[in-house]
């Protein structure tokens, strides 16, 4: 359904997207994971015909987004990160307007608006101005406004930014429902758990480059099932710890992040007693020691050396 | 052009305007309040029956013709004639008008009645306060009364002329030469001098409402459009504009939608305010509906285009607000919406009349005060159309660039 080949987008001399390649099958829920400034929104901008690419090719439903923007726009719906609605109007007014803009009218438009109000659970609030809604309600309306013309592909650009856990859960439920209905979805986020929970496949993007691509299991397998043991030590003991760790069985590497030492190992349960013993022998307190099982965060850290919630430099 | 898209955008703009109750105050209520207040400040009460203005008459003639001369002025609903029985000087007349106790001062010299009966010619001396619109009316009433008396005197002299033979149909033969001599050299002439700066011969307006009514309609049409430029900035920032772009709307549809949406609001606002001015302040917009419609449509088109241009230039909402208000103030003040251009120095008049606001208010002055038809307004309408075309071209180009990828 969507094919992206060597996509490049520059802002001046800065490459916001640098040779990104991926494809999304019809009905697939594809996640684009990366921190703020990684190039997710720019990628969505090109895919949704809002930005011209400086290189590469993007085809949606067989149409080139540059040459066939008009055809592509008929296929896609976009839900921007911002609340792209007229908040001084009611939910119904907004949906009616967006429907008319997509060529709907009469009874068909009225029926579609009611369907979407039900889907967003906003029937009771449909006659209230959107500016009086909670953040979660605004997000849900923002989402269904992108569905008014029943697109085949939906681009969701960080649709859960700035809302509480309960509201986020309802949004995710709504997106999962769309996935079950067979809609092709590209979902950008920097929330790891959202990508893990929702997406069939995930592309990890960093500094404009796609650094990993696959389903959750295959991505995690790229880091070799490594457990991560984190511990805090006085800075003057780090060198001694590294020297000792080099000889421990199962220790595949020791790194440092935000002042904490990070020990990689295939089996954290076996290495932990060895570390505890070394701490006792060196008269160091056993504080802030934790084991992290491999996940996408670990993968991202491994691939980029930075956490997902850190902004791109 | 996709008419459904354009129609949806126009409908949206009107809907957003109607739903914004605070905005409606600026759209309708404030212009009427301003018209009312400015009508008072400019010296003439704008509503209902205005208070009578005094015309002081120094009667040095005391003859029978004086009452005939003053009768139309006495009968006029706006004037109170006070005859002062003493010898007057120009200095005294100036003092009376300067201190505001008289709208106009008329000195009737001794020999006026005799002149009207065929005696030696005399001049009447009228001093008017140029800054008060009512003084112009007093002058025109006296002028008219004197014209009638001079014409009667000329007619009497013709009838009485020796050697005139009755015509076959019974009417007196008409001696054109004798009439021309009487017409060119009337027995009594009115010499008028104007105090203050308002020394225009074609002012034409008799009430401040005739200026402030249309002026504040134009001012608030422009103001409302310009401050709504921030909506376009907001739509750019919150990605609503992006959402519009990826709908079925093409760039041309979006430009047309924004332009016609703004214009629709301007036209509705203009129609309501002009109607309210007519009802509340009794304004008569003259006999040329075509010119009236043309000036309102062209001004709304200019204002809508200027709003789009500002919306595409401003980076933030507050910047659009500030620039919009400032530009409206400048165009209003320099273009003669705050005060008539006739009261400012001639070089400022030239600048003001070149502005779209100056052209629009000049058309209104012509329609309400000078009996202009469409033909007389065409130069100003053409100027206004040029402004609209220039600003629209810039606005459309910038908006197209912003909505194109």
Q: What's the mean pLDDT in A228-250? A: 88
Q: Any idea which of A135-139, A216-220, B75-79 has the lowest mean pLDDT? A: A216-220
**What is the C-alpha to C-alpha distance for residues A235 and B76, in angstroms, rounded to an integer?**
102
User: Are A244 and A122 part of one and the same domain?
Assistant: no
Please say which residue of A180, A196, A221 terminates a domain: A221
User: Are A217 and A243 part of one and the same domain?
Assistant: no
Q: How confident is the model at residue B48 (pLDDT cuts 50, 70, 90)?
A: very low
* Pairing of β B53-59 and β B79-84: parallel
Checking if the pLDDT of A276 tops 60, the result is yes
B252 has a chain A CB within 8 A of its CB: no
With a CB cutoff of 8 Å and minimum separation 6, the contacts of A126 are A90, A91, A92, A117
By the 8 A CB rule, do B319 and B313 touch?
Answer: no
Higher-pLDDT residue of A311, A136:
A136
Query: What's the confidence (pLDDT) of residue B131?
Result: 61
- Our CA-based measurement puts residue B17 at a distance from the nearest CA of chain A, in whole angstroms, of 10
- The phi, psi pair for A228, rounded to 5°, reads -125, 120
CB neighbours of residue B53 within 10 Å? 21
CB neighbours of residue A11 within 10 Å? 11
Q: How confident is the model at residue B42 (pLDDT cuts 50, 70, 90)?
A: low
- Report the CATH number that the domain containing residue A214 is assigned in CATH: 3.40.50.300
User: Are A146 and A178 part of one and the same domain?
Assistant: yes
Classify residue A100 as exposed, middle or buried by CB count within 10 Å of its CB (0-12, 13-18, 19+).
buried
With a CB cutoff of 8 Å and minimum separation 6, the contacts of B177 are none
Asked whether the beta carbons of residue B247 and residue A98 sit closer than 8 angstroms, the reply is yes
By the 8 A CB rule, do A84 and B240 touch?
Answer: yes
Q: How confident is the model at residue B197 (pLDDT cuts 50, 70, 90)?
A: very low
A98 has a chain B CB within 8 A of its CB: yes
User: Are A145 and A265 part of one and the same domain?
Assistant: no
Q: Any idea which of B62-66, B183-187, B230-234, B314-318 has the lowest mean pLDDT? A: B183-187
Asked whether the beta carbons of residue B243 and residue A86 sit closer than 8 angstroms, the reply is no
Q: Is B128 left (phi over 0), alpha (psi -120 to 50) or beta?
A: beta
User: Are A193 and A247 part of one and the same domain?
Assistant: no
**What is the C-alpha to C-alpha distance for residues A157 and A87, in angstroms, rounded to an integer?**
19
Query: Is the alpha carbon torsion for A291, A297, A299, A305 positive or negative?
Result: negative
Checking if the pLDDT of B188 tops 50, the result is yes
Checking if the pLDDT of B160 tops 70, the result is no
Q: How confident is the model at residue A145 (pLDDT cuts 50, 70, 90)?
A: very high
Asked whether the beta carbons of residue B248 and residue A74 sit closer than 8 angstroms, the reply is yes
Higher-pLDDT residue of A289, B395:
B395
Task: Give percent helix, percent strand, percent coil of chain A, each to the nearest 5.
Answer: 35, 25, 35
Tally of CA atoms within 13 A in the half-sphere of A214 that contains its CB: 11
Q: Any idea which of A208-212, B27-31, B272-276 has the lowest mean pLDDT? A: B27-31
Per DSSP, the three-state class of B249 is: coil
Q: Which tens digits make up the pLDDT trace of A190-205?
A: 887 888 888 889 998 8
Residues 14-43 of B with CB under 8 A from A: 15-16, 19-20
**What ipTM score was computed for the predicted complex, to two decimals?**
0.75
End-to-end Cα distance, chain A: 33
Asked whether the beta carbons of residue A78 and residue B246 sit closer than 8 angstroms, the reply is yes
Pair of tokens at residue A206:
């960093």
Interface test with A, best of B18, B247, B250, B253 (most A CBs within 10 A): B247
User: Are A56 and A144 part of one and the same domain?
Assistant: yes
Checking if the pLDDT of B299 tops 90, the result is yes
Pair of tokens at residue B397:
């180009």
Q: Any idea which of A39-43, B27-31, B325-329 has the lowest mean pLDDT? A: B27-31
Checking if the pLDDT of B405 tops 60, the result is no
Owner of token pair 């650009």: A157
By the 8 A CB rule, do B173 and B164 touch?
Answer: yes
Query: What's the confidence (pLDDT) of residue A307?
Result: 55
Query: What's the confidence (pLDDT) of residue B169?
Result: 55
**What is the C-alpha to C-alpha distance for residues B122 and B114, in angstroms, rounded to an integer?**
9
Concatenated DSSP letters for B116-170? HTT-S-EEEEEEEETT-HHHHHHHHHHHHHHHHHHHHHHHHHHHT-TT--B-TTS
B238 has a chain A CB within 8 A of its CB: yes
Q: Which tens digits make up the pLDDT trace of B249-262?
A: 888 999 999 999 99
Higher-pLDDT residue of B292, B163:
B292
Could you please state the CATH topology (level 3) that the domain comprising B53-195 is classified under: abc type-2 transporter like fold (3.40.1710)
Nearest to A88 among B20, B239, B245 (CB): B20
Query: What's the confidence (pLDDT) of residue B202?
Result: 46
Nearest to B244 among A52, A82, A101 (CB): A101
**What is the C-alpha to C-alpha distance for residues A111 and B170, in angstroms, rounded to an integer?**
87
Q: How many domains does chain A have?
A: 2
User: Are A129 and A253 part of one and the same domain?
Assistant: no
Domain for residue A49, yes or no? yes
Average pLDDT, rounded, for chain B: 83
Nearest to A49 among B238, B249, B405 (CB): B405
By the 8 A CB rule, do A134 and A91 touch?
Answer: no
Asked whether the beta carbons of residue A101 and residue B8 sit closer than 8 angstroms, the reply is yes
Domain for residue A313, yes or no? no
Classify residue A271 as exposed, middle or buried by CB count within 10 Å of its CB (0-12, 13-18, 19+).
buried
Q: Is B35 left (phi over 0), alpha (psi -120 to 50) or beta?
A: alpha
Q: Any idea which of A62-76, B92-106, B299-313, B333-347 has the lowest mean pLDDT? A: B92-106
By the 8 A CB rule, do A9 and A51 touch?
Answer: yes
Checking if the pLDDT of A153 tops 70, the result is yes
User: Are A159 and A281 part of one and the same domain?
Assistant: no
Interface test with B, best of A11, A66, A84 (most B CBs within 10 A): A84
Q: What's the mean pLDDT in A199-226? A: 81
Query: What's the confidence (pLDDT) of residue A225?
Result: 56
User: Are A233 and A195 part of one and the same domain?
Assistant: no
With a CB cutoff of 8 Å and minimum separation 6, the contacts of A117 are A91, A92, A95, A123, A126, A144
Q: What's the mean pLDDT in B356-376? A: 89
Domain parsing of chain B, residue ranges: 3-44+207-403, 53-195
Q: Which domain holds residue A282?
A: 227-293
Q: Measuring CA to CA, which residue among A78, A82, A60, A75 is closest to residue A7?
A: A60
Query: What's the confidence (pLDDT) of residue B372?
Result: 81
Checking if the pLDDT of B295 tops 60, the result is yes
Percentage of chain A with pLDDT > 70? 94
Pair of tokens at residue A60:
């949606």
Checking if the pLDDT of A309 tops 70, the result is no
Owner of token pair 């404030």: B30
Query: What's the confidence (pLDDT) of residue B92?
Result: 64
Tally of CA atoms within 13 A in the half-sphere of B183 that contains its CB: 6
Checking if the pLDDT of A214 tops 60, the result is yes
Strand partners, B81: B55
Contacts with B248 from chain A: Cβ below 8 Å: 73-74, 101-103
pTM recorded for the entire structure: 0.69
By the 8 A CB rule, do B236 and B398 touch?
Answer: no
**What is the C-alpha to C-alpha distance for residues B264 and B297, in angstroms, rounded to an integer?**
9
With a CB cutoff of 8 Å and minimum separation 6, the contacts of A247 are none
Concatenated DSSP letters for B14-61? HHHHHH-HHHHIIIIIHHHHHHHHHHHHTTS--SSSPPPEEEEEEES-
Query: What's the confidence (pLDDT) of residue B200?
Result: 43
User: Are A241 and A94 part of one and the same domain?
Assistant: no
Asked whether the beta carbons of residue A50 and residue B247 sit closer than 8 angstroms, the reply is no
Q: Measuring CA to CA, which residue among B28, B26, B48 is closest to residue B39?
A: B48
Domain for residue A312, yes or no? no
Please say which residue of A200, A221, A242 terminates a domain: A221
Please say which residue of A189, A221, A253 terminates a domain: A221
Q: What's the mean pLDDT in B21-46? A: 73
Q: Measuring CA to CA, which residue among B8, B32, B22, B9 is closest to residue B275?
A: B32
Q: How confident is the model at residue B137 (pLDDT cuts 50, 70, 90)?
A: confident
Asked whether the beta carbons of residue A101 and residue B248 sit closer than 8 angstroms, the reply is yes
Q: Which tens digits make up the pLDDT trace of A79-132?
A: 998 999 999 999 999 999 999 999 898 999 999 999 999 999 999 999 999 999
**What is the C-alpha to C-alpha distance for residues A122 and A137, in angstroms, rounded to an integer?**
7
Domain for residue A311, yes or no? no
**What is the C-alpha to C-alpha distance for residues B30 and B38, in angstroms, rounded to an integer?**
12
Pair of tokens at residue B310:
């500002």
Q: Measuring CA to CA, which residue among A161, A178, A160 is closest to residue A169?
A: A160
**What is the C-alpha to C-alpha distance for residues B114 and B249, in angstroms, rounded to an integer?**
82
Owner of token pair 């029956």: B49
User: Are A27 and A140 part of one and the same domain?
Assistant: yes
- Report the CATH number that the domain containing residue A280 is assigned in CATH: 3.30.70.980
Query: What's the confidence (pLDDT) of residue B326?
Result: 95
User: Are A180 and A56 part of one and the same domain?
Assistant: yes
**What is the C-alpha to C-alpha distance for residues B272 and B265, in angstroms, rounded to an integer?**
11
Checking if the pLDDT of B221 tops 50, the result is yes
Average pLDDT, rounded, for chain A: 87
Contacts with B7 from chain A: Cβ below 8 Å: 100
């Amino acid at each position: 359904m969507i094919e992206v080949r060597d996509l490049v987008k520059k802002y001046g001399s800065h490459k916001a997207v640098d040779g990104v390649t991926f494809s999304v099958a019809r009905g697939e829920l594809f996640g684009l994971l990366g921190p703020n400034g990684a190039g997710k929104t720019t990628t969505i901008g090109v895919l949704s015909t809002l930005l011209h690419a400086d290189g590469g090719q993007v085809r949606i439903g067989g149409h080139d987004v540059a040459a066939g923007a008009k055809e592509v726009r008929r296929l896609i719906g976009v839900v921007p990160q911002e609340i792209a609605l007229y908040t001084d109007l009611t939910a119904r007014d907004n949906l009616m307007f967006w429907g008319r803009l997509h060529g709907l009218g009469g009874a068909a438009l009225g029926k579609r608006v009611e369907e979407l109000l039900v889907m967003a659970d906003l029937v009771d609030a449909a006659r209230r101005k959107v500016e009086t809604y909670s953040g979660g309600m605004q997000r849900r309306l923002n989402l269904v406004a992108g569905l008014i013309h029943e697109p085949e592909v939906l681009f969701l650009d960080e649709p859960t930014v700035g809302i509480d856990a309960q509201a986020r859960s309802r949004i995710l439920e709504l997106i999962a429902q769309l996935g079950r209905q067979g809609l092709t979805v590209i979902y950008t986020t920097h929330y790891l758990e959202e990508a893990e929970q929702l997406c069939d496949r995930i592309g990890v993007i960093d500094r404009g480059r796609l650094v990993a691509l696959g389903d959750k299991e295959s991505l995690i397998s790229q880091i070799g099932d490594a457990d991560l043991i984190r511990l805090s030590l006085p800075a003057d003991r780090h060198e001694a710890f590294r020297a000792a760790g080099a000889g421990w069985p199962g220790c595949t590497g020791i790194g440092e992040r935000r002042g904490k030492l990070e020990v990689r190992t295939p089996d954290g349960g076996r290495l932990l007693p060895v570390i505890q013993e070394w701490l006792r022998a060196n008269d160091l307190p056993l504080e802030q020691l934790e084991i992290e099982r491999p996940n996408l965060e670990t993968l991202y850290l491994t691939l980029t050396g930075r956490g997902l919630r850190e902004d791109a430099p | 052009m996709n008419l459904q898209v354009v129609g949806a955008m126009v409908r949206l703009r009107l809907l957003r305007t109607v739903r914004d109750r605070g905005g409606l105050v600026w759209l309708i209520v404030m212009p009427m309040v301003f018209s009312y207040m400015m009508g008072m400040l400019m010296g003439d009460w704008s509503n209902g029956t205005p208070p009578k203005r005094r015309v002081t008459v120094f009667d040095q003639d005391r003859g029978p013709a004086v009452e005939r001369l003053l009768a139309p002025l006495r009968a006029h609903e706006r004037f109170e004639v006070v005859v002062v029985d003493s010898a007057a000087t120009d200095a005294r007349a100036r003092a009376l008008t300067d201190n505001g106790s008289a709208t106009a001062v008329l000195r009737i010299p001794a020999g006026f009645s005799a002149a009207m009966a065929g005696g030696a010619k005399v001049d009447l001396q009228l001093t008017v306060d140029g800054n008060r619109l009512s003084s112009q009316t007093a002058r025109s009433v006296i002028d008219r009364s004197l014209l009638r008396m001079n014409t009667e005197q000329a007619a009497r002299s013709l009838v009485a002329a020796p050697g005139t033979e009755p015509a076959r149909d019974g009417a007196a033969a008409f001696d054109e030469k004798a009439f021309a001599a009487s017409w060119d050299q009337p027995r009594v002439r009115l010499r008028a001098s104007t105090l203050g700066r308002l020394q225009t011969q074609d002012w034409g307006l008799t009430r401040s409402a005739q200026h402030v009514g249309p002026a504040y309609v134009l001012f608030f049409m422009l103001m409302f459009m310009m401050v709504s430029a921030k909506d376009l900035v907001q739509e750019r920032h919150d990605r609503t504009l992006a959402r519009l772009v990826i709908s079925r709307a093409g760039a041309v549809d979006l430009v047309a939608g924004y332009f016609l949406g703004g214009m629709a609001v301007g036209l509705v606002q203009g129609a309501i305010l002009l109607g309210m001015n007519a009802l509340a302040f009794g304004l008569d917009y003259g006999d040329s509906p075509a010119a009236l419609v043309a000036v309102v449509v062209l001004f709304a088109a200019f204002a809508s285009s200027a709003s789009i241009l500002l919306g595409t230039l401003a980076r933030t909402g507050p910047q659009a607000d500030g620039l919009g208000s400032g530009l409206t103030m400048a165009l209003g003040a320099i273009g003669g919406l705050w005060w008539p251009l006739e009261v400012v120095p001639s070089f400022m008049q030239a600048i003001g009349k070149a502005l779209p606001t100056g052209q629009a208010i000049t058309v209104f002055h012509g329609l309400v005060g000078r009996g202009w038809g469409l033909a007389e307004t065409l130069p100003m309408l053409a100027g206004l159309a040029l402004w609209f075309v220039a600003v629209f071209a810039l606005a459309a180009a910038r908006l197209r660039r912003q909505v194109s990828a």
